[in-house]
Amino acid sequence: MSDSALIDAARDFNRFYTNFLGVLNKAYLDTPFTLTDARVLFEVGSQERLSAVALVRDLHLDAAYLSRILKRFKAEGLLETTPDPDDRRSQLISVTDRGREQFQELVRRSNAQIAGRFDKLAAGEPQSIVGAMKTIRSLLDPDATLPPLVIRPHRTGDMGWIVESQAKFYSEEYGWDMRFEGLVAEVAGRFLSTFDPAMEYAWIAERGGINIGSVLITNGGDGIAKLRLLYIDKSARGLGLGKTLVDECIRFARAKGYRQISLWTNDILSAARNIYLKAGFQLVSEEKHRMFGPELNGQTWILDL
Amino acid sequence: MSDSALIDAARDFNRFYTNFLGVLNKAYLDTPFTLTDARVLFEVGSQERLSAVALVRDLHLDAAYLSRILKRFKAEGLLETTPDPDDRRSQLISVTDRGREQFQELVRRSNAQIAGRFDKLAAGEPQSIVGAMKTIRSLLDPDATLPPLVIRPHRTGDMGWIVESQAKFYSEEYGWDMRFEGLVAEVAGRFLSTFDPAMEYAWIAERGGINIGSVLITNGGDGIAKLRLLYIDKSARGLGLGKTLVDECIRFARAKGYRQISLWTNDILSAARNIYLKAGFQLVSEEKHRMFGPELNGQTWILDL
DNA sequence: CAATTTAGTTGACTCAGTCAATCAATTGGA
DNA sequence: TCCAATTGATTGACTGAGTCAACTAAATTG
């Protein structure tokens, strides 16, 4: 795609999104607030203590205009200002309890608007949209901070996500065929069907509501814990997430009294192999196979606990 | 993956993009046009001949306001209007040569703004942004013509999608627990692992690259085809897609020489039951079970071919 | 410590956008 | 077929969101 085609597409999107936001912002029409009022309240409500200059900068408002808005909000008891102890020209703005209520009302309305849009979409589409929004934001807004990475137990739909994302990744990257997806689905399915909360666990890493990593411990019998389906999404590589997940597995296996962790992998997956090596796993056997199409070196690794 | 996390993220993006567009739209500040003027000129310039109502609708403008803008543009010789021959109340608006020049000047300024942004980015990043914009647009823009519905054989990742979407749907709608997801994953996994292209098939319905429905035929032995994992996404209900997929199954089973199709379902899934009934399936057995948490009536249906 | 910059306020203004009333053409029933 | 309701477009009358310039007060610079 040529540069000018990209620019045209972006301009077109902006035109579209200007309209779209125009519609969404009608949500504020039957509140006592104008769009600018709402934006100010949003900003103050979200950030708690900030100065007027910061607002002028962030929202690109006229200082005189903002001054009047703040004055009105103060008169209505929505905001209060305290002089900045470090710079007595400046004042720090924060919401009062009443202001917080109004802010939350705005959030509710705004959320309802968005939820209304999302309701009309197919399953997974909101995720696609939000994912795309995050892409745009992270590239256009250098200050954007990533939402925190959370590691949590599995819940409904996670195993499906594991099957889909692993299948797609290994297919694209290494040309593995659908038998691999079949294996993953069977492993994931058996895990859920025979799940023993006392001895088994699944860790899902997510960021901002989007899954980015996984690992399972299943009970292999004879005091052996099996580590399975370790996977880190492209977007989260290089953060040490793989190590974190494997460490969680080891801690869990120790706590549950397993005497050994075993896992099966393939030698071309070097990032994973490094994690296992560093965690103290030892390679115990290796065999060539063609389970997924291309010839691979399957490896079994073991860690004595 | 929670809904509210997605909505929060979307709201946050909208807040960000409102500011962003606010900055971009400053591009028009040193032209004789207001933002609304520019939007009108853009729309007319891009679409060539359109009616005032269409503009009011698309740009969500007040009709009175638009009327004045058009009047001014006509007076300045930027636009001309001709009465719509089909409806003499209505008039078709088009740009004059001078109008086109002005329009192109706006495009130039807008492009320059965007190019300025893109210049600061790394190689490939503009592509990512534009790709993400297209994702958002295609999903949010109701006027964007729906891409055609395609029914195709399964490919990598589809089974994972089936697991995730079915698990989420039946969990939300009927409170089924994760054992259901386990069952689906096992069925899907076994299908892939033991896939026999001669006698088995999976149909995936997709629209614009997004999966919206599925059904499988697996070989149950003894001349019995098993119909499994029929699922239609929320967004595609009521289009007769379920019937289409089941019809495909029947045609396939006949062609492959099966003598019977059997399927297992639960009585609360009335939409599916209607499809089976109309296709000629007969209920042959029924038993209460609690395989997925709540008490359900499992049903076996059979169609003789 | 004078000159300059920065944070915030106030007065004065204007024009972008809204609302209600009206006209003219079209559509939809009884 | 004709009357009532609807739809497209325009105009008059208005308002309040947002702008610009001038000013005060505190902080920074050199």
Residues of chain B with CATH 1.10.10.10: 3-140
- Chain B residues within 8 A of A121 when measuring between CB atoms: 139, 235
Q: Tell me, what's the pLDDT at A283?
A: 96
Q: Tell me, what's the pLDDT at B1?
A: 42
Higher pLDDT, B140 or A5: B140
Beta strand A210-219 with A282-289 is unpaired
Name the average pLDDT for chain A: 90
- Chain B residues within 8 A of A207 when measuring between CB atoms: none
Higher pLDDT, A127 or B284: B284
Asked whether the predicted pLDDT for residue A148 surpasses 90, the reply is: no
Asked whether the predicted pLDDT for residue A1 surpasses 60, the reply is: no
Architecture of domain A149-304: 3-Layer(aba) Sandwich (3.40)
Q: What's the whole-number mean pLDDT along residues A236-254?
A: 94
Residue with tokens 């070196």: A297
Among 3.40.50.720, 3.30.70.2190, 3.90.228.20, 1.10.10.10, name the CATH number for the domain at A3-120. 1.10.10.10
Residue nearest to nucleotide D18 (CA to C1'): A65
* CA-based nearest distance B167→chain A, Å: 5
Q: What's the whole-number mean pLDDT along residues A159-179?
A: 95
Q: Tell me, what's the pLDDT at B143?
A: 62
Architecture of domain B3-140: Orthogonal Bundle (1.10)
Taking the CA of residue B66 and the C1' sugar atom of nucleotide C8, their distance in angstroms comes to 38
Amino acid of residue A193? S
Nearest by CB: B114 against A7, A162, A185:
A7
- % pLDDT > 90, chain B: 49
DSSP string, B56-108: HHHHT--HHHHHHHHHHHHHTTSEEEEEETTEEEEEEEEE-HHHHHHHHHHHH
Taking the CA of residue B89 and the C1' sugar atom of nucleotide C27, their distance in angstroms comes to 13
Residues of chain A with CATH 1.10.10.10: 3-120
Q: Tell me, what's the pLDDT at B118?
A: 87
Q: Tell me, what's the pLDDT at A83?
A: 84
Query: Residue A238 — very low, low, confident or very high, per pLDDT cuts 50/70/90?
Result: confident
Determine which of A8, A176, A193 to mutate to test the interface with B (most B C-beta atoms within 10 Å). A193
Residues of chain A with CATH 3.40.630.30: 149-304
Nearest by CB: B192 against A24, A39, A179:
A179
Query: Residue A173 — very low, low, confident or very high, per pLDDT cuts 50/70/90?
Result: very high
Q: At what angle do helices A158-174 and B178-193 cross, to 10 degrees?
A: 30
**Contact between chains at A114 and B14 (C-beta distance less than 8 A):** yes
- Residue B63 CA to residue B85 CA, distance in Å, equals 21
- Residue B294 CA to residue A90 CA, distance in Å, equals 61
CB A265 within 8 A of CB A301: yes
Closest residue in chain B to residue A120, using alpha carbons only: B235
Least confident of A27-31, B197-201, B233-237, B289-293: A27-31
- The token duo for B131 is 């790709």
- Could you give the 3-state DSSP secondary structure of residue A1? coil
Q: Tell me, what's the pLDDT at B142?
A: 63
**Contact between chains at B189 and A178 (C-beta distance less than 8 A):** no
**Contact between chains at B169 and A123 (C-beta distance less than 8 A):** yes
Asked whether the predicted pLDDT for residue B200 surpasses 60, the reply is: yes
The tens digit of pLDDT for each residue in B5-56 reads 889 889 889 988 988 888 888 777 678 888 889 999 888 888 877 888 888 8
Q: How many C-alpha atoms does A232 have within 13 Å on its Cβ side?
A: 18
The tens digit of pLDDT for each residue in B112-148 reads 889 988 887 766 678 778 878 888 988 887 666 666 7
Asked whether the predicted pLDDT for residue B196 surpasses 70, the reply is: yes
Strand D: which nucleotides have any atom within 7 A of a protein Cβ?
7-13, 16-22, 25-28
Name the average pLDDT for chain B: 90
The tens digit of pLDDT for each residue in A61-89 reads 888 899 999 999 988 889 888 888 888 88
Query: Residue A182 — very low, low, confident or very high, per pLDDT cuts 50/70/90?
Result: very high
CB under 8 A, 24+ apart: contacts of A96-105: A99/A41, A99/A44, A99/A45, A99/A73, A100/A45, A102/A33, A102/A41, A102/A78, A103/A41, A103/A42, A103/A44, A103/A45, A104/A45, A105/A31
Q: What's the whole-number mean pLDDT along residues A93-97?
A: 90
CA A73 remoteness from chain centre: 35
